[in-house]
Amino acid sequence: MCFKGPGALELKKTLLRHCLLSMSMVYIMISPPIRESLYSPEDLIQKGLAPSGKTSKWLRGDPRKIVKKEDVIEHYRERWWQPLVWCGQIIQDNQESFPDGKAFLGEK
């Protein structure tokens, strides 16, 4: 990515964190070994994938609905795509941080 300007590094970290959060949620749904090590939303928050209050609150969801392990998987199944939407919004909101959209897409 060719983000430039003040805050570019933090912007890149946020985008990567959101992508990793989404990917982790999918892996938890499809992989029993990963599910054993990263079971709950709290595990993902402790790993730093959802550090902000708003994101961690979104990830935790409604504690009354998440009781069993199957509930967590369903919770992730309903929400895994949302961090990718956030990435798109962040990029759109920060278009001035990269001089040319083609450069962002890797085109010349």
What pLDDT sits at residue 80?
Answer: 94
Helix then strand count (H, E) for the chain reads 7, 0
Could you read off the pLDDT tens digit of each residue along the chain, which spans 108 residues?
455 667 778 888 899 999 999 999 999 999 989 888 887 888 888 888 887 777 888 888 877 777 787 888 888 899 999 999 999 998 888 877 666 555 555 555
pLDDT of the residue at 91: 85
